[in-house]
Amino acid sequence: KSINYDEDDCLDSENLLEKIRVCIDCHRLLILRRDKLERSHYQCPLIEFYQKLREMIQQLERLLSVYDLMAESLNLGESKYQLQDGIDVKNKITKFGEEIDLISRKIETYNDDGKTLCTERQQSIQKLIRRSTIQYLRDNLLSLNELPDVEHYERLKQSHNEMIERRIQWEKQMVLIEQEQYKRQREENGGRKSMIIGNDGFCPQT
């Protein structure tokens, strides 16, 4: 017995110009094949959430590394970075943290409305991801170095510049002292030679 296999049921119906006739067994095989292909291209939203979570955390890690350098430099009063740039990076970190928190919450509460069997192990993993994410955010965001405000930064910068100026003056002074010591040492060495070497070329034993 055969049935009409309509274009809408075909795996590649767009390339078919007319209906074909297949037997019931062949029809079942085609349906199974179609379902298998659909499953192979299907990605569970839970996996997509987790991949997105990992990407966001990696980006946050890079921002945290940059921010640590900027905050340390700015709190020393250095001019390597601009204060506003540090503020902008900190705001980005806060935004990333909020998005990461939201994604982890979606992972914890994810339910595909019974389309697939959600095991206790899967639920446990989802909760574990959520708890780990919360702990990660606490460890990294709550311990961020604070940035100085504008007035405080100006004072820090002035103190830093004064310290650099003192260091430069000290280094100059040390160079002058070393030069003076070297000059005095040469003069002393020259005097000894005059005493040791006599006019007759005889070197008295000392």
Q: Which residue has the tokens 């029809």?
A: 27
DSSP conformation class of 148: P
Measured distance CA(51)–CA(47) in Å, rounded: 6
Measured distance CA(90)–CA(145) in Å, rounded: 10
The kind and range of the H/E element at 172 are helix 150-196
CA-based diameter of the chain, in Å? 137
What pLDDT is attached to residue 162?
82
What pLDDT is attached to residue 182?
84
Q: What is the mean pLDDT of each run of 10 residues along the chain (206 residues)?
A: 45 45 63 62 75 95 96 93 95 96 93 63 89 95 93 89 85 87 80 57 51
CB atoms within 10 A of CB 171: 10
- Spatial neighbors of 92 by CB under 8 A, at least 6 apart, are 63
pTM comes to 0.61
Residue 2 phi, psi (nearest 5) = -125, 160
Q: Output b/e per residue, 100-115; b: 16+ Cβ within 10 A.
A: bbebbebbbebeeeee
What pLDDT is attached to residue 17?
35
Question: Beta strands of 47-167 (E only): which ranges?
Answer: none
Closest CA to 126 of 43, 48, 50: 50
User: What tokens were used for 6?
Assistant: 């309509």
Q: For the chain, what are the domain ranges?
A: 2-40, 45-148, 150-206
